[in-house]
Structure 1
Amino acid sequence: MMKYLSLIVLFILMSCGNKEDILLPKSDKTIVSNIEDHSPIYIFFRTNDKDTLTEVNRKNSIITTNWIFNIDKRLPLRIVIPQVMKLQDKKRKEKAHKNEKAENYYSYADSIGKNMAFIPFTKVYYKLEKPSGTSIFFNKKNEILVNNVIVKQEELEGYLENKADKSTLYQLCFDKEMSFDSYLKNIIFLHSIKLETNENFIF
């Protein structure tokens, strides 16, 4: 247990002689358990007076490998997602050494299996705006709103299945003040009910 806590819940990075820590999100299930040929990217939680900031360390990232994003769970989406978008864009625009099979993953801790786990997000495009159309909105209070109607998480799949128009395309939306921890838990939940899209709206 202590080994699990030290390696996963409190992620330690020795960088330039300084000890850095990242508190990883936790979930009760593993989506991907092992990734070969990967490079780490770290996004740290920082504060300056009352402001919350990010610090990105990608000096060990290799463009042709799978990228593992180790992101502090305390960071709000409004400041962490723009950093993720910049890194995604850099990898997508790479021409000289592009590897079409290389993926991007978020790391987290499986609190049941006591192991490091990962979820892919290579095909996700983030948009910092409110979409038009039918939306499923996850707010910072951990409420789910389907077109402004609050639906309990355990009832969401059945609620959507009972809708008259089965062809409706839902836009997945997330409160910009939501923590990365809550966001990742929601993404893992959506994966479990097979409700995923290539666009995530953050506003």
Structure 2
Amino acid sequence: MKIPMLINRKNPMPPDYYPELMEISDDYFLEKNACKAMNALLKAAAKCGVKICIFSAYRSSTYQQKLFDDEVKIYTEQGYSYSDALEKASQAVALPYTSEHNAGLAADVSSPELFGQTTTAFDKTRQFEWLDKNACKYGFILRYPKNKEHITGIMYEPWHYRYVGTAHACIIKENSLTLEEYIKKFPV
């Protein structure tokens, strides 16, 4: 069982890494294995009467840089110094090559009512409840769980799901681990 790739500030992707992508829906792409798993997840949720919407998936490094720069700008316009704005922005938006979206392994999801909103209110929806119980069966984990910010370095994001494969996802879920904790507990 190959350990999933950890992608974060301390573990950036190689700049020449480019995933084999497949279209998941309406101009959203995921790495091919993640895409197949996400399709199965979406179909299973729909059979249960739960509509899950994808509002972000693969991102190019150029687009990721734009998102980061936009976040820095928001903080500087609020009066933060540039260095403080960089720090605040990095807690919400990853730099290029440090985002799982760049690898095509992450999808941001929502409900039709909240579509496109990155809000913690998502964790009060039927969609979140279904994902919490079932995402691991399709190889996905809630990547940035509540009360684990000190481990992941990223704020709680109930909308951000990462593909790690079913076996890994089930162990991570059963043990309430982050990907960082899992890799530390079960090293290669």
Name the TM-score, length of structure 2 as normaliser: 0.24
Which of the two has greater strand per residue? 1
Which of the two has greater helix per residue? 2
Name the TM-score, length of structure 1 as normaliser: 0.23
